[in-house]
Structure 1
Amino acid sequence: FVETLQMKKLDMGCAIHDARANLPSIMPNLETLVIESVNEVVDAPMLPTKFIYLKHLTIRMITGSTISRPYDYFSLVSFINASPSLETLILNVTLRMVNESIFTDSQLRHIPEHHHGHLKSVKITGFSSAKSLVELTCYILNNAVSLECLTLDTIYGPRCDQDKYRRCFPMIDGVLTEAPRGLAAIRTYIEDKVPSTVNLTVLEPCSRCHVRRRVQTSSQSDNAVSI
């Protein structure tokens, strides 16, 4: 138990809801936290407990064989507000797009402001037009007064322009179909909220790996023969 209290770094597979509810009390000295969750079904709760010393947070959300309900990404504000020392946030979304699109309902939710003076870098991969993902991003832009860098990547996984990868991580067709809508959501609802002091980087699908895959898929479909 004493060792748990003193832990400063944790990389674990668990439900995001459980991590938010339990870790602040059993691991109060965490500085780096990586959570990997498969088929998350319960949104992150808003709780008074804090990650007082947490500086680096990575959340990986992965699709399993089934999806029971859309996840409310906006609920992840609970982690941000609970982490007054947070400096970097990485959110990797590899979930299929089943959420309500911002283009279906553009009325953004708002919660009371909670300014963050240490959050400098935010990266979201697998960015889509999901309304709750746009809401989360807008909340960060409005409240992270120290933000320096925001990266929104419409795909997930390694890219071929990184030194050790020859090909980008393969995408399912749904991700490539959603990518243009994600880009449109960024242009329409996010870009004009980015302060001049923040460097916004928007990444599209790779013109070499992903366009080729879409062409191959289309060609295979055209050549299919019904029997």
Structure 2
Amino acid sequence: MLRIKEIVCLTSQQQDVLSHIVSQLPINDAIRTSVLSRKWKDIWCGHTKLSLNSTTVRKHYFKSPIGYVFLTNMEFVARVDAILLQHSGGGIECMEIKFRLHNSYAYHIDRWVNFAIASKTKELIIDLSGSRNFLPQQLFCAHNGSYLQCLEVASVSLHLPADFKGFLNLKNFTLVDVSIGNEDIQCMLSRCNLLEYFEISYCRNITSIRTPRPLGQLNHLVVDNYLLLQNIELNGSPTTFKYNGTVIPFAFASTSRLTNVSIKFLSCHAALEYIVTGFPSALPRLESLTLHCAERERIILPGRPFQFSYLRHLKLELIIFCDKKIDVLDYALVLEVAPFIEKLELHMWMDCWWCQPYRKEDGELRIRLPHQQQHLKFVHISGFFGYKHQVELALHILRSSVILERMEITPRVEITKRETESRNLYYERTQYISGRKIASEFVCKADQRKVVEL
């Protein structure tokens, strides 16, 4: 009798090992293991990660005698139904539904969402690829979403029921290209008390993001690609904030925890002015700042700008529409406003096709009074075409940085040119060669410590 129990126990352990192995496979590969033997037949049915899309259900197209045949909506629905019918229906960590299904398939989507609810799914991803189906209302009923910890929806319409009480355990919430109103966003945020990560992108109907109730757990906020958004006003204190849109006011209950900020403006704005007088100047403990701006004119800055005592990493992405007013040497100011900076990245795209690389006939290089920078170790400058003010800025940084370990300079443009197209390949090649030559002739020769790399 004891021997039989030992064999049964061993078999159970083997089953656990096989289940763990299969759970690491994509769902289509996991299903294929059922043909190996009777022992493997039903192991995949407890798969904890159901990623149901055109790739995992079957390749989006396959080759037939008449050519490539694409997976149809009905084939996708039938395949998903077959998988869910055979699945044990429990212990699902993540369920993803990603396929272009229009409104006539709403019934099937409802059934799949019901399966996720019944299976107590922790992470649910629904991406209907631009079809604008309404997200099933039962997901927002009391207790139905109580097990959800992560919810990501894309390309759907969403309207909260009047009796929505919130998701009790939701920590991550992502909305991408969702048709939703300001009131529903406010209601959702106010009733998800454990929310730690919130991302809202390409939701074009949104004009305001506000939360009257405190969001004590929110750490990460991402707001992407907004042209109509007028303001963000959150009763919370995140640590990370990423924004991509037009220049608007930001207001948080407290900015004492905000240490990592990334802002990309879709409209023109002077980067230096925004750093020293805009939103970053209200962040007392800012450690990392990425700022993308397009500039058309030079700004007169205050005599004693705010200093960032905690800033360690600054990344500037600058699209500069050059005229005689623009002066890149102005960016030497960053060494003064960030006295403890350790890493500086300066990426430029300069729309100055009429400009020429620096020549001695253009006049002496200006020498700005060096600012003794005691902490800067790494500098990376891209888009270095060898213009006079670019050379002057590079030399100023080199002379001011006491403990600089590495300074990389490249003519290669490493940011999207967005508002301007390259003139032609000949122009870009000419600028590349000229930038490298000028950097070698004027910056490398001034490098006594051999820290400059081209």
- TM-score, normalized by length of structure 1? 0.73
* 2:360 is the alignment partner of 1:108: no
* 2:436 is the alignment partner of 1:183: yes
* 2:276 is the alignment partner of 1:20: yes
Question: What corresponds to 1:200 in structure 2?
Answer: 452
- Higher-Rg structure is 2
Assess if the C-alpha contact under 8 Å between 2:346 and 2:381 holds in 1: yes
* 2:42 is the alignment partner of 1:42: no
Assess if the C-alpha contact under 8 Å between 1:128 and 1:178 holds in 2: yes
Deviations 1:89-138 (A, max 9, x none): 11111222355642152411122221111100001111111111100100
Question: What corresponds to 1:51 in structure 2?
Answer: 308
- 1:40 Cα deviation after fit: 4.1
Cα gap change, 1:93/1:20 in structure 2, threshold over 3 Å: closer, same or farther? Answer: same
Q: Which has the higher contact order (CA 8 A, sep 6+)?
A: 1
Assess if the C-alpha contact under 8 Å between 1:55 and 1:87 holds in 2: yes
Residue 140 of structure 1 aligns to a residue in which SS?
Answer: helix
* 2:338 is the alignment partner of 1:87: no
Assess if the C-alpha contact under 8 Å between 1:47 and 1:78 holds in 2: no
Cα gap change, 1:12/1:200 in structure 2, threshold over 3 Å: closer, same or farther? Answer: same
Assess if the C-alpha contact under 8 Å between 1:44 and 1:76 holds in 2: no
Residue 191 of structure 1 aligns to a residue in which SS?
Answer: helix
Structure 1: distance between partners of 2:308 and 2:367? 23
Residue 394 of structure 2 aligns to a residue in which SS?
Answer: helix
- The code of the aligned residue for 1:89 comes to L
Assess if the C-alpha contact under 8 Å between 1:43 and 1:75 holds in 2: no
- 1:184 Cα deviation after fit: 2.1
- 1:19 Cα deviation after fit: 2.3
**Aligned 1:42-191 pairs, distance under 5 A:** 42-43=298-299, 45=301, 47-48=303-304, 49-62=306-319, 71-97=326-352, 98-99=354-355, 101-103=357-359, 104-157=361-414, 172-173=424-425, 174-191=427-444
- TM-score, normalized by length of structure 2? 0.38
Assess if the C-alpha contact under 8 Å between 2:366 and 2:392 holds in 1: yes
Question: What corresponds to 1:7 in structure 2?
Answer: 258
Cα gap change, 1:92/1:70 in structure 2, threshold over 3 Å: closer, same or farther? Answer: farther
Assess if the C-alpha contact under 8 Å between 1:102 and 1:129 holds in 2: yes
- 1:46 Cα deviation after fit: 5.6
Structure 1: distance between partners of 2:368 and 2:377? 21
Cα gap change, 1:44/1:73 in structure 2, threshold over 3 Å: closer, same or farther? Answer: farther
Assess if the C-alpha contact under 8 Å between 1:151 and 1:200 holds in 2: yes
**Equivalent pairs: percent with the same residue?**
22
More strand by share: 2
Q: CA RMSD in A?
A: 2.5
Deviations 1:138-179 (A, max 9, x none): 001111011000111111228xxxxxxxxxxx9953332212
Residue 133 of structure 1 aligns to a residue in which SS?
Answer: helix
Structure 1: distance between partners of 2:294 and 2:280? 21
Structure 2: distance between partners of 1:61 and 1:154? 14
Structure 2: distance between partners of 1:180 and 1:120? 27
Cα gap change, 1:124/1:180 in structure 2, threshold over 3 Å: closer, same or farther? Answer: same
Assess if the C-alpha contact under 8 Å between 1:62 and 1:95 holds in 2: yes
- 1:47 Cα deviation after fit: 4.0
